[in-house]
Amino acid sequence: MRKISLFIALLLINSVLSAQSVKLYFSENYVKAGEVNADTITIDYTTYGIDHSYWLYVENTTEESIDVIVTKTILDTVPGSNVYFCWGECVSSSVYVSDPREMSANESLDFQAEYLLNSGRGTSYVRYTFSNANDADDAVSIVLAYRTTVGIAESQMKNISVYPNPVMNKLYIGGLTAQSKASLYDILGNCIIAETTDNNIDMSALPAGIYMLRIAEGNKIITRKVIKK
């Protein structure tokens, strides 16, 4: 009986020690959705010259605050690819390791993986690792596979322009068609303006920060990051 109790105690201790402090979740319309269980996520890159923002949510599963670091590893890329990310703040493509970002107990924060390609074909593979700053082994990773599917006749949505950016008052959207609808979301995924067909958005009353502009035309969707001063 004593041996069984000891075995059970060892199992419990091992379970606690091996538990990960960080989990990843999908984002649907900039809102936290189901947990990511796959090792690789394949993303179709459909329009040259357009930043592709892929959002994930990072959760601190513990009952205490931790600092989380993001590490970017380029596994293979199409020549000319521009790969960067936003973890609290957006960093340039030359940055591979983020500054630590504090996460409160059970808190979930958004992460944005950015990818831009102007020409070329193929698939780029980028691994992002989210680790406890105090324990490098306490980490979770995901590989994003950007598959270039741009055809000869590219979408007319590549002509859409957003300016000025950063913006203080009105944000203008050039290249919209009669079928285009634009929606503006804050960094938490809250919809600020839904499916407007106007070619400008008054942002003067909005707080400074990062916003995401989502433009849809039929089954084609692009997103642009907008910085409000």
On whether both 127 and 48 belong to a single domain, the answer is yes
Mean pLDDT by 10 residues, the chain (229 residues): 49 50 89 91 82 91 96 92 90 93 95 87 94 94 88 53 90 83 83 86 91 80 84
pLDDT of residue 219: 63
Domain that holds residue 132: 20-148
CATH assignment at residue 143? 2.60.40.10
Could you tell me if residue 8 is inside a domain? Answer: no
On whether both 42 and 78 belong to a single domain, the answer is yes
Of 119, 148, 177, at which residue does a domain stop?
Answer: 148
Count of domains in the chain? 2
Q: What is the DSSP letter of 175?
A: S
Report yes or no on whether pTM surpasses 0.75. no
On whether both 43 and 125 belong to a single domain, the answer is yes
Burial code (b: 16+ CB inside 10 Å, e: under 16) for 125-153 equals bbebbbbbeeeeebbbebbbbbebebeee
